[in-house]
Structure 1
Amino acid sequence: MTGIHADLLKRRQAVLPSWLSTYYAEPIDLDHGEGRHVVDAEGNRYLDFFGGILTTMTAHALPEVTAAVSEQAAKILHSSTLYLNRPMVELAEQVAELSGIAEPKVFFTASGTEATDTALLLATGYRSSNQVLALRNSYHGRSFSSIGITGNSGWSPTSLSPVQTYYVHGSSRIGGPLAGLTDKELIAACVADLEDVLGQVKDNVACLIAEPIQGVGGFAMPPDGLLGEFKKVLDRHGILWISDEVQTGWGRTGDHYWGWQAHAQDGAAPDMITFAKGLGNGLSIGGVVARAEIMDSVPANSISTFGGSPVTAAGALANLRYALDHDLQGNAKRVGAVLRTKLDEAAGLPGVAEIRGRGLMIGIELVDAAGRPNPKAATDVLEYTRADGVLIGKGGLHGNVLRIAPPLTLTTDEATEGGAIVVAALKRAGQPS
């Protein structure tokens, strides 16, 4: 490896932690982007099908967002929550209106991880309990507390935790004990598992936190309605439901604005929603929207130095308004169907176990000839697609699931082009070595 990227990689390795992994045998530095495309420091152009881990929600260098950031930066960069902040208030009003939660209040953070921490603080304090329910195969962030509720060993470097976590079944994983069940059977099995776990827990439980579609977990999907059935059980025990919408929110799934809405039954809604990533389109913002009585229950002083800062809030508000004004949820549904149709051409290829997802959030699980997880094939496909001009991601408990999540402004032509490159890479990866 030689050139600009090789020099930068050497410098990175000298000063950054060894556990900060990178994609590709020869990592790339993304220098600039526009729309759905990015260009690396050596001039190579790519169609971005991963959006910085589902973060570039609308488009790279979206004029409305860059203008809002520039205008606000020229006025004042920072003030903190100790002062009134018009962009933060206006953004909170918009998020609260969209949340679907009764009498909502909003607290902004600088990341999704910090949003998880905040939700745990609220739930454990409100319920006077440090006991938390989470789903197996889940991921909720990289802080000490969020690692403690992450049901994925690849992202859990320590067993120490400030909370007591009980993991329940919530999705069917290939090779897992619930594989092969129908949706109805899976819902019944998961509800029975939840009831069984609660029957073994002493005292009260604070909350259940769940991703409607498991992001780092390889876009594993609970059956529609499962979390709504969970809510019936939770309500009998007074347990709060937190929907982790860091990856599924803002219309990405196409069918719904929030991932939890695929599970809504009889008016059921979460008590809290955590969000981040796509809202800022790359700006560092996350947050929690919760019922007012929960949000206001903190019995101590608190502030946020960077959460909802004027610049990030102004940019996020411009981004959110653009997504709403241009019906990007509808585009995710329409163009997502085009992309899915193209990717479905890979169904039945050697090593392709399953293609799943919704809208512009699609996962492809890869296995070997014996049906075991095949992380090497996933790594190979990432290399092949990069070489042909498309950037995708990967995840899953074993790192064997391709993750495809382009910006929501993706066009039909781009979906067809990028999907064809992914299919070609899958064909190449499935050939005998």
Structure 2
Amino acid sequence: MTDDLLGRHRAVLPDWLALYYEEPIEITHGEGRHVWDSRGNRYLDFFGGILTTMTAHALPEITKAVAEQAGRILHSSTLYLNRPMVELAERIAQLSGIPNARVFFTTSGTEANDTALLLATAYRRSNTILAMRNSYHGRSFSAVGITGNRGWSPTSLSPLQTLYVHGGVRTRGPYAALDDYDFVAACVDDLKDLLGHTRPPAALIAEPIQGVGGFTSPPDGLYAAFREVLHERGILWISDEVQTGWGRTGEHFWGWQAHARSGPPDMLTFAKGIGNGMSIGGVVARAEIMNCLDANSISTFGGTQITMAAGLANLTYLLEHDLQGNARRVGGLLIERLRAVAAHVPAVREVRGRGLMIGIELSKPGTDEAHPEAASAVLEAAREGGLLIGKGGGHDTSALRIAPPLSLNVAEAEEGAAILEQALRSIQ
């Protein structure tokens, strides 16, 4: 029983391990864009295990590839040649846009970002990192140390000196009233001023669209403008693509491509969607950066055969079925539908995002004050209506996060929007 499982969960797992819903649910199986809980309730999945089920639940092409690989060998570590790992690395290197790219596989986005920080600090001989306000980069000691979101940073202790930069949130902060051109100019001026007061940093790490932060983003071109300032000083740019990668934003395969004026980043990190539920993360970097370490290293579970088989099948399916194009088309319809709904709900401050990465920020009507109680109420009402969504935001978790599998069809988008409409209206 779910109630018994909840008691067992609380008895052996940490108090800080978050659970959604006043009555948490156990998801037992899924198919396509739907999942079922242990009580037999069926839900349309608009969160995909935190943006991880990228193509679909129980996709036959992936389950077949995993089963066939499991029948051969599951794992051998990076101490031995690994054909699936090499094949997936070749494809990701080519897709990354980074010249002379090398790929290192990890088991999560946290570990990927941790590795990128190791590479950047070793390459630059500096432990100073630039990060964005409202950002999130993972759960490890170093990743928590650069996370600019108080709700997800449980300690101020860190092996790194972190300096936080303006720009990740367009509609809040001291530059919110400016137009896009002046907003970018003000953020660049702030960056230049900051760099004039500190020893040279190793890198800037930034999410093109902030995930846990509530799917906020700057105007297109901000990170290109930052890159020009950074490049003059030899500072690296790390694009955290753990949530924005693989075509989720619709318009681009990678989030950094919305800021492409000055070329690709020096490094990008990835995870989540590429495994479609299997544990895959990784770093792509120029060869001289990736190869800068002067000690041996291995990965016991990064790049293991079973996860690489899943990643190859998943990436093949994504590309052959143009799921990036589907995210652009269906996501565009969904966001316009949600904006039409929001126009009649005073608690909705903003509907934002692109592709199938959409945020709805709630505030107390007539103000800019965050409204986390409303976000929680909508989350509950959506579940009651048969829809799973997420929440986040740097202002007391007052944003709803919508990120379905990229194979979502128009009928499912309309069904989800109708449930969200009822959920949003229920809080008035």
TM-score (norm 1): 0.97
> Could you tell me which of 350, 355, 358 is aligned with 2:351?
355
> Could you tell me which of 145, 162, 174 is aligned with 1:177?
174
Contact residue 342 and residue 420 of structure 1 kept, 8 A: no
Where does residue 194 of structure 1 map in the other structure? 191
Contact residue 243 and residue 273 of structure 2 kept, 8 A: yes
> Could you tell me which of 87, 92, 96 is aligned with 1:99?
96
Alignment of 1:8-157 (within 5 A): 8-157=5-154
Where does residue 410 of structure 1 map in the other structure? 408
Where does residue 323 of structure 1 map in the other structure? 318
Where does residue 237 of structure 1 map in the other structure? 233
List per-residue Cα deviations over 1:27-49 (Å, max 9, x = no partner).
Answer: 00000000000000110000000
Secondary structure of 2:260's match? coil
Q: CA deviation at 1:272?
A: 0.2
Contact residue 136 and residue 151 of structure 1 kept, 8 A: yes
List per-residue Cα deviations over 1:332-371 (Å, max 9, x = no partner).
Answer: 0011011112111223321100000000000000000333
Secondary structure of 1:264's match? helix
* Unmatched runs of 5 consecutive residues or more in structure 2: none
List per-residue Cα deviations over 1:146-198 (Å, max 9, x = no partner).
Answer: 00100001011100001111000023354422222211111011101110110
Residues of 1 paired with 2:201 and 2:397: CA distance? 32
Moved more, 336-345 or 100-109: 336-345
Contact residue 228 and residue 265 of structure 1 kept, 8 A: yes
Where does residue 417 of structure 2 map in the other structure? 419
Where does residue 159 of structure 1 map in the other structure? 156
Contact residue 242 and residue 271 of structure 1 kept, 8 A: yes
Q: What amino acid is aligned across from residue 130 of structure 1 in structure 2?
A: N
Where does residue 264 of structure 1 map in the other structure? 260
Residues of 1 paired with 2:56 and 2:181: CA distance? 38
Q: What amino acid is aligned across from residue 212 of structure 1 in structure 2?
A: P
Residues of 2 paired with 1:174 and 1:264: CA distance? 22
List per-residue Cα deviations over 1:269-303 (Å, max 9, x = no partner).
Answer: 10000000000000001000000110111100000
> Could you tell me which of 179, 182, 207 is aligned with 2:203?
207
Alignment of 1:302-341 (within 5 A): 302-341=297-336
Contact residue 172 and residue 186 of structure 1 kept, 8 A: no
Residues of 1 paired with 2:315 and 2:369: CA distance? 41
Residues of 2 paired with 1:373 and 1:177: CA distance? 17
Q: What amino acid is aligned across from residue 36 of structure 1 in structure 2?
A: R
Contact residue 384 and residue 425 of structure 1 kept, 8 A: yes
Residues of 1 paired with 2:226 and 2:16: CA distance? 36
* Unmatched runs of 5 consecutive residues or more in structure 1: none
Residues of 1 paired with 2:355 and 2:379: CA distance? 21
Q: What amino acid is aligned across from residue 138 of structure 2 in structure 1?
A: G
Residues of 1 paired with 2:354 and 2:134: CA distance? 19
Residues of 1 paired with 2:49 and 2:292: CA distance? 35
Residues of 2 paired with 1:390 and 1:117: CA distance? 34
